[in-house]
Amino acid sequence: MNQYEVMYVIDAALEDSARAELINRFSDLVKKNGGEVDRVDEWGKRRLAYAIQYKTEGYYVLMYIKAPAELPRELERNMQISDSILRYLTVRYEGELPAKREPLKPYAPRENAFADAADAPEAPAAEAPVAAEPVVEEAVEAPVEAPVDDEKPESEAE
């Protein structure tokens, strides 16, 4: 059996129950076709690098499986049929299973950013930098030299 890494992006507008059902469906497909699922990592909602079918967010899922060589084709065929899957990629890898990647914390803007700044201890006041006077350089004209001609004038050439 070969080891595979399967990454797929689910439509973020899908409800949680439908998303869990879809993830289980692909895991069961692997098991029914003679493979085994080592691990399923749900990375969560992420912003897409570019719009896919007019969608800008997707739900990322990474699945590590051990399966016969024919299974990835069947798995990708099922992902292609599903309307909820925006993108998918299956890669064969060798070696040990990589360590579980911790999901990124979602960005949440602070509501009281100004209140936190008021509670912070005051920093000592620094002196304002003194602006230096602008330096004005005088334009110096360079002497204009006549072009050097290697040929002798016609009067001297004779």
Model confidence pLDDT, tens digit, residues 126-150: 565 666 666 666 666 666 666 666 6
The predicted structure's pLDDT at residue 82: 94
Question: With 80 as the cut, is the pLDDT of residue 104 above it?
Answer: no
Asked if residue 72 lies in contact with residue 58, where contact means CB atoms within 8 angstroms, the answer is: no
The predicted structure's pLDDT at residue 98: 77
Is this prediction's pTM over 0.75?
no
Per-residue pLDDT band for 2 (boundaries 50, 70, 90) equals: very high
**Any residues with CB less than 8 A from the CB of 46 and at least 6 apart, and which?**
57, 58, 59, 60
Domains of the chain with CATH codes: 2-92 (3.30.70.60)
Question: With 60 as the cut, is the pLDDT of residue 85 above it?
Answer: yes
Q: How does the average pLDDT of the chain come out, rounded?
A: 81
Q: How far apart are CA 69 and CA 91, in angstroms?
A: 12
The predicted structure's pLDDT at residue 95: 82
